[in-house]
Structure 1
Amino acid sequence: EGSFVKECRSTASKWEITIVACLTPSGKEIAVGTEAEEKNIIYSCVKTENGASIQTRVVEKPAENRKCQGKYEGGEKFIEGNFVKKCFSSPNYEFIAIVNCLTPEKKEIALGAEFEEKSVRYSCIKTEKGAKIETEFVEGGNNGKELLCKDKYKNGDKFTEGNFVNLCTSNQYYASSTVVGCLTLEKKEIAVGRELVEGTCRYKCVKTENRAKLEKEKAVKGCQNAAPADPTCPGGHKNGEKF
């Protein structure tokens, strides 16, 4: 009845109605002597001489910190290009700062520090706009020998890792591999940025910040994660089946 839950208690000689709970605006029951929070308001069901009353007080909650670029939490680090960045935020502001630089092999270099990698010295220098990377060839340059990608592939070599085709680019100072293609289940190569229909599936080799990824969608009904099944002979007989 109203904002209260009442209970009838009776015997052979008498009866009485007692308030046993209060109701919040949404209809939630709060037993007499207890309280509950709803939409930043605390409702207290207080016993009185006449029955009960509802008392309220607003919950003061701290404002949430803003997010950098609408997605990074305060203190969260992320990579953009050759730099490691960190989000700093509060309820009133947010900003992003470069905290480290990255070498081609993804080794982090602190601001103001340097690191030598494959005959190249990388310096992470703080600037007014953030930071920059400076490089310097180390004297000797691997004694004139060309460096190898993955310690075995020469400049211009293509090699496969998982579902990706990599191209080695190297000289006596530097070696790096780049994804130039993706492989379908049937090991057909798709150049980065291109697509190929194989069986019932359409494969796309998509360039990403890190390297590349292989996307798959239905070209026609029935695209599966597994390789297409072997065709059957007339009569529905499977490969190797005797009849």
Structure 2
Amino acid sequence: MARAGSAGASEPGKPRTVDGGPPRAHSYENSQRSRQAAATRERILAAATELVHELPNWDWRSLTVRAVARRAGVNESTVYRHFATERNLRDAILRQLEAEAGVELTSLNLGTIGQTIAQTYTYLGRFPIGSRPITDPTFAALDERRRAALRDAVSQAATDWTSDEREMATAALDTYWSLPTFERMVTTWNLDPAAATSTATWVISLIETAIRTGQRPPQPAGRDQTPDIGPHDATS
């Protein structure tokens, strides 16, 4: 039996742990602080994604730490406590958006590219999309003539298609007959101009074959499938 005052003896009214020490209240406090920190981080990310949903054309120039802090109702220092830099914050936002869209790039394969693009475009459709007009009148006029020529060519070849189907095919052709597409192939993918040209004409030939063989683009659910009378369908 332990003598009074000896080590290990408990004092009346003093709670002790199994090893005879005082209760570890700090463990509970640390756990509570961790939960609060996680909740604050989620609050910041939620505020940031709300802001992104309001930005037109994915223009993130106004997506700053200050703007996110103001939306979340916290100090900028609180944001920096969870995200060391603005780049860290933006990376976390993008991962959050990818999760919302259901896009998982690490598991992408040839068979899932179409589905992944569909999920991405469906998700992007929830964001505000504004037009980016060509400001130079000369280039604006050229773009109008080019798109009109594409519409005319598709209408002549797909007389029994609906106007939506013709417009979808024309938009696909337009995508590969554009300066941004050419520049991206050359600057981002490091294709030389000849290879970029071959790539574009290869894809365009696949679209052309689909049009000539009646392989219509799939229509979104609920769209009218009745063919329209185009400018080349009407009799004179």
Same fold at TM > 0.5: no
Specify the TM-score bucket, using the shorter chain as the normaliser.
under 0.3
Q: Which has the higher contact order (CA 8 A, sep 6+)?
A: 2
TM-score under structure 2 normalisation? 0.22
**Comparing both structures, which one devotes a greater share of its residues to strand?**
1
**Comparing both structures, which one devotes a greater share of its residues to helix?**
2
Greater C-alpha Rg: 1
